[in-house]
A and B are shown apart, each in its own frame.
Chain A
Amino acid sequence: MLKIKNLHASVEGKEILKGINLEVNPGEVHAIMGPNGSGKSTLASVIAGNEDFEITDGSIELEGEELNEMAPEERAHQGVFLSFQYPVEIPGVTVTNFMKTAINETRKARGQEEMPANEMLKKIREKSELLEIDRKFLSRSLNEGFSGGEKKRNEIFQLAMMEPKLAILDETDSGLDIDALKIVANGVNRLKTDKNATIVITHYQRLLDYIIPDHVHVLLNGKIVKSGGKELALELEEKGYDWIKQEAAV
């Protein structure tokens, strides 16, 4: 589904991603781990099309179609979803209105009719129940005055509403207490099918107890230096990143 080849990206002339290779197939969950500042969020932003970052080499493909030159909204229309590490506030725009706009703009871009109001309502009800979100919450301004945990849960609610092909969760676990973490993880698991894929970015292994990855990659200084199965995450938890840094330096 997603094929990243030799991806190099920089911001303000400084290279952050230094040759990433990654292949994600339908039905898979990949975890990307790594210490702070290693480039995890940058990778997510570049896949989503944030043009603060310049791709200097390599390519990103989604289902055989190259994304490099595509606008961020077009990538979203193609089925890329990013759960932001730091979701932004949009005062005066309710969660419901934002979702309605996002879904209908996406449908429009795909040549579909607007979603009928009753269908939209039904979907909102269903997905807010899945994530145990109070309905009152949905009429609040997007992310304004939300706690860290509420912001993250709201990101996953949006994921549930948008039903993308590729979901990238950037540090979704940070700010969540253990109960919320379970709810969110359960939500993500329930949304999994054999046709979509998930990339979970985290620097704790905690989340991976609940969202079990098929593959774990370690990102260090802009490169994937080690890949393995879910046991790699446990090893990292136990031993930290230093041994990988040493291994990578060799």
Chain B
Amino acid sequence: MAYTEEELKKELETKEYEYGFYTDIESDTFPVGLNEDIVRAISMKKEEPEWMTEWRLEAFRVWKEMEEPEWANVKYKKPDFQAISYYSAPMNKPKYDSLDEVDPELLDTFKRLGISLEEQKKLAGVAVDVVMDSVSVATTFKKTLAEKGIIFCSISEAIKEHPELVKKYIGSVVPRKDNFYAALNSAVFSDGSFCYIPKGVRCPMELSTYFRINQAGTGQFERTLVIADEGSYVSYLEGCTAPMRDENQLHAAVVELIALDDAEIKYSTVQNWFPGDKEGKGGVFNFVTKRGLCETNAKISWTQVETGSAVTWKYPSCVLKGDNSIGEFYSIAVTNNYQQADTGTKMIHLGRNTRSTIISKGISAGKSQNSYRGLVQINSRAENARNFSQCDSLLMGNECGAHTFPYIEAKNKTSQVEHEATTSKIGEDQIFYCNQRGIDTEKAIALIVNGFSKEVLNKLPMEFAVEAQKLLEISLEGSVG
């Protein structure tokens, strides 16, 4: 079959959401709406100490006065924040000792997602803290971690067991008043993960969390806090997928990373939330605030593969506070059908000799809109700061859009900022060349897309890279007849 633009377009449109199914697990859900009582109730439900309740209430008060931001290059019907239920937990939430005790339907769900716990357990050195509908239902490999003094648990547990750490660092990188969604998250966050790596410890395995959104009309407000103490190292994986749903689902997560002197954090995300059907109906709204703080000689790398969500608003950022600290951002964002993504990063150079690298790969198909928005800010004190940014866009068909908005604010003359951008299209000649070598069109597109994304895929841990490659294929290929 000859490959034409028309055919490619059709192919891409007919790709239905691969993991579209819905797990029916009894849930314990709050009435819709948001007020101080609901915030208190969430805090109480989670048996939180008084200081946490107060912290949430303060966030709620700030949020009430804020307006939803309008500046991103996305169009969507604003969620009605009073029509959302702010808490949902699986019923009878026991802590399991072994997988046999876990609800079989839940296990089945994971199997269908291709991320069964059995598999995960076998995968060398991956500890999984599964967040299902806002509450952790399984934690593995905890003992190995405990021997090194590593804390890896749900944020709710951390609030109870390690209040001094949580109190010190929560909101220290993303203040409650930072933005509309961060404030909302701070008021109502349901659960999430907490991780602390002690001084000088190299975490011996990839820490991994799988997120799912599961309740109709339930907003998901995850809160993640990762602290790497002096000279420590951790690689953290976050991945998720969601069931097919008819109505919009709001997701507003906050992730805070703290890398103290000489520490390194690698944070990798593979995101595959329901993007809406091919008419653009349904799909997850993903408004995420992710930020890391680097002290002296510290390094934070964000790597993300984004294929899901109807609307994505996400800018993993680094505050390079300490001298010689390093920030990196590697991203692949795929949009198809009616998806809209406005993603990018902020690199804030405060310290001397700070360095940052931004590699952004946008792939747009269908009628989607894919925007890169990046800020590189060099403060006056940041002698010899360096940034390199590269933004590449790959277009499929004629109805999608790719946009690049790089903002550079350099207040120190010794700094060097470089920005490169390219836009290309998958050519029929490339497809024919592959076909001639025995590679069919579907595989050819996968090959070309993988080639385009390679610099970023290479940054992912091995098992994750394989999964991410599969995701790229799923998101972009149709059933070629």
Contacts and interface: CB of A to CB of B under 8 A. Distances in A.
A82 B436 contact: yes
A105 interface: yes
B451 A92 contact: yes
A75 B436 CA distance: 8
Interface in B142-168: none
Contacts, number: 84
Contact of B433 (A81, A84, A162): A84
B416 interface: no
B238 interface: no
B27 interface: no
Contacts of B438: 73, 76-77, 102-103, 105-106, 109, 162
B452 interface: yes
B430 interface: yes
B64 interface: no
B443 A105 contact: yes
Contact of A76 (B435, B441, B447, B448): B435
Interface string B439-451: 1110100011011
B460 to A, nearest CB: 15
A5 to B, nearest CB: 22
A90 B436 contact: no
10 contacts: A50-B2, A71-B440, A88-B427, A88-B433, A91-B424, A93-B451, A97-B447, A105-B440, A109-B438, A162-B437
Given A71-B1, A92-B451, 4 more contacts: A76-B437, A88-B433, A102-B438, A103-B438
B433 A87 contact: yes
Given A52-B2, A90-B448, A92-B453, A102 B433 contact: no
A76 B438 CA distance: 5
Interface of A: 48-52, 71-73, 75-77, 80-82, 84, 87-93, 97-98, 101-103, 105-106, 109, 141, 158, 162
Contact of A88 (B429, B441, B454): B429
B436 A88 contact: no
Contacts of B428: 52
Contacts of A101: 439, 443, 447
B433 A90 contact: yes
Contacts of B441: 73
B455 interface: yes
A73 B445 CA distance: 14
A91 B452 contact: yes
A233 to B, nearest CB: 27
B447 A93 contact: yes
A49 B451 contact: no
Q: How large is the interface on B (under 10, 10 to 19, 20 to 34, 35 or more residues)?
A: 20 to 34
B464 interface: no
B432 interface: yes
A88 B439 CA distance: 15
A92 B2 contact: no
What 7 pairs between A and B have smallest CB-CB spacing? A51-B2, A92-B451, A93-B451, A106-B438, A102-B437, A72-B435, A76-B438
B440 A88 contact: no
A75 B440 CA distance: 11
Most buried by A among B1, B430, B451, B454: B451
Contacts of B430: 88-90
A169 to B, nearest CB: 13
A91 B448 CA distance: 7
Contact of B447 (A77, A90, A162): A90
Nearest to B3: A51
B469 to A, nearest CB: 12
Contacts of B424: 91
B439 to A, nearest CB: 5
Nearest to B449: A92
Nearest to A158: B437
A158 B437 CA distance: 9
Which of A52, A77, A80 has the most chain B CB atoms closer than 10 A to its own CB? A52
Nearest to A82: B436
A171 B9 CA distance: 34
